[in-house]
């Protein structure tokens, strides 16, 4: 995979100087990351203001957020939900404009009055609005890993060419960022970085055997032991595909290759990731497993501000364990390494097939152990090509979804 030799440009100074509040658009406001972002914003009303909020179809939760934060715009991807929201907003006299669809998402991601965009829409749906924010030169708080997994170099080029700012929100990538030298965009070799140690909790089935994995239910897969996450991400964590997607994302964020990233199982989720240096040093970022820490860090960077997160008590933690991931019981991680190494549209195919596989599992139409089978079959049936344009990436995404769906239908025939 032809990753660029240097990481994308990172901001060198904060964009808050005590003047007007920083305008924030939250893409995916009703999800767990969006809710945590608004919690942090609510703690600093003098520093941030909400410009726009978006959701798929959760009207009630979005309306509650509108009443509190008074955004100028809301976007609902679902047109029926948008009509419902418009009726309530009109009846309550809220000064909020309702938009819908992908065009609405792209609009609020690039508004002139928006300084920061929290990109927290789950899955491929978050790609186009994240790219719109990059083209508009915004500070992008990237929680949507699929944007980089799918479009890689295209996304990085948009950030660089439009002088946007890209800061990672995933706890692992944010931890790596905090553990890196400030000038790491010169290249990891130039700053003495030997390896990135990407930690993983191991999910709810870390110690389960093959027979147990075959009987896993959606409810069990969504019960993460450490983190509060949405259903899709929770399943990805259980299969370790989430870590595979993070591996690909880390390559683009930090300008490196898959062979220099080692996944480390760390059940306590206290160390969020580490960076190993050529002199033998290993720097780590620790903290209570709460997404408000990386959110507050990225919003205020290079400053620090309170996040509302419980303080880490090392005496309460008492021990830190580490294990090697089992690629036989969790083949999704192996598939991600292979897709990263192949490059081109392979990661987009991997991601799309996984989204279909997880959707089918959550709907009760396939088993937990079918997920990697669907993904690997799709990867084997499609040929990866260079990801030279967004159209090529989106074509690969569509083809992978169709292939995965056809395969699942064949399983039931």
Q: Is residue 328 included in any domain, yes or no?
A: no
Task: State the pLDDT at residue 226.
Answer: 64
Tokens of 137: 């030169």
Tokens of 394: 């989106």
Range of the domain at 72: 22-169
The arithmetic mean of pLDDT across residues 318-323, rounded, is 96
Tokens of 402: 């169709």
Domain check: are 54 and 163 in the same one?
yes
C-alpha to C-alpha distance for 396 and 390, rounded to whole angstroms: 10
Domain check: are 69 and 132 in the same one?
yes
Q: What percent of the chain has pLDDT over 70?
A: 94
Domain check: are 120 and 235 in the same one?
no
Range name among 55-69, 230-244, 370-384 with the lowest pLDDT average:
230-244
Rg (CA), the chain: 21
| 125 — pLDDT class (breaks 50, 70, 90) | confident
Residue 302: asked if its preceding bond is cis (omega within 30°), the reply is yes
Contact 189, 256 (CB under 8 A): no
Domain check: are 138 and 181 in the same one?
no
CATH of the domain at 381: 1.10.1740.10
Name the residue with tokens 């808050």. 16
Tokens of 413: 């025939």
Q: Is residue 239 included in any domain, yes or no?
A: yes
C-alpha to C-alpha distance for 229 and 411, rounded to whole angstroms: 30
| 5 — pLDDT class (breaks 50, 70, 90) | very low
Average pLDDT over the chain, rounded to an integer: 93
Length of the chain: 413
C-alpha to C-alpha distance for 160 and 253, rounded to whole angstroms: 12
Domain check: are 284 and 375 in the same one?
no
| 1 — pLDDT class (breaks 50, 70, 90) | very low
Domain boundary residue, one of 104, 136, 169: 169
Task: State the pLDDT at residue 146.
Answer: 83
Domain check: are 262 and 397 in the same one?
no
Tokens of 313: 């008590």
Domain check: are 274 and 355 in the same one?
no
Query: Residues 6 or more apart from 401 whose CB is under 8 A from it?
Result: 352, 353, 355, 356
Domain check: are 155 and 50 in the same one?
yes
Domain check: are 395 and 355 in the same one?
yes
Domain check: are 145 and 248 in the same one?
no
Task: State the pLDDT at residue 19.
Answer: 78
Domain check: are 186 and 165 in the same one?
no
C-alpha to C-alpha distance for 129 and 207, rounded to whole angstroms: 38
Range name among 15-29, 80-94, 200-214, 335-349 with the lowest pLDDT average:
15-29
CA angle 23, 184, 258 (to 5 degrees): 100
Task: State the pLDDT at residue 360.
Answer: 96
| 413 — pLDDT class (breaks 50, 70, 90) | low
C-alpha to C-alpha distance for 402 and 386, rounded to whole angstroms: 20
Domain check: are 164 and 183 in the same one?
no
Domain count, the chain: 3
Domain boundary residue, one of 134, 169, 204: 169
């Amino acid at each position: 995979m032809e990753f660029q030799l240097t990481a994308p440009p990172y901001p060198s100074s904060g964009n808050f100087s005590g003047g007007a509040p920083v305008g924030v658009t939250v893409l995916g406001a009703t999800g767990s990351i969006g809710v945590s972002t608004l919690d942090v914003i609510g703690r600093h009303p003098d520093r941030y203001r909400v410009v726009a909020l978006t959701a798929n179809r959760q009207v009630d939760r979005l309306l509650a957020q509108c009443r509190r934060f008074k955004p100028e715009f809301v976007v609902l991807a679902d047109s029926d939900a948008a009509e419902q929201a418009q009726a309530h907003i009109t009846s309550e006299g809220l000064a909020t404009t309702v938009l819908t669809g992908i065009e609405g998402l792209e609009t609020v991601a690039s508004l002139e009055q928006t300084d920061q965009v929290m990109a927290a829409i789950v899955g491929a749906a978050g790609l186009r609005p994240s790219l719109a924010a990059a083209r508009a030169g915004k500070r992008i708080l990237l929680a949507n890993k699929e944007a980089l997994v799918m479009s890689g170099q295209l996304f990085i080029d948009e950030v660089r060419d439009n002088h946007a700012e890209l800061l990672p929100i995933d706890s692992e990538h944010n931890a790596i960022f905090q553990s890196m030298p400030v000038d790491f965009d010169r290249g990891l070799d130039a700053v003495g970085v030997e390896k990135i140690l990407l930690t993983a909790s191991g999910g709810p089935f870390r110690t389960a055997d093959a027979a147990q994995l075959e009987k896993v239910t959606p409810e069990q897969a969504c019960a993460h032991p450490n983190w509060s996450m949405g259903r899709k991400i929770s399943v990805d964590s259980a299969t370790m595909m989430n870590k595979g997607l993070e591996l690909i994302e880390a390559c683009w964020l930090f300008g490196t290759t898959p062979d220099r990233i080692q996944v480390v199982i760390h059940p306590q989720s206290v160390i969020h990731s580490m960076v190993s240096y050529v002199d033998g040093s290993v720097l780590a970022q620790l903290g209570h497993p709460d997404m408000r820490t990386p959110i507050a860090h990225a919003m205020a960077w290079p400053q620090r501000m309170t996040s509302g997160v419980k303080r880490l008590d090392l005496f309460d933690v008492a021990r830190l364990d580490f294990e090697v991931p089992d690629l036989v019981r969790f083949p999704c991680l192996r598939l991600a390494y292979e897709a990263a190494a192949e490059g081109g549209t392979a990661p987009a195919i991997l991601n799309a097939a996984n989204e279909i596989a997880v959707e089918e599992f959550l709907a009760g139409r396939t088993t937990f152990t079918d997920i990697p089978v669907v993904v690997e079959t799709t990867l084997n049936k499609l040929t990866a090509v260079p990801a030279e344009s967004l159209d090529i990436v989106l074509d690969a995404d569509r083809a992978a979804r169709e292939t995965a769906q056809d395969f699942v239908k064949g399983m039931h025939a």
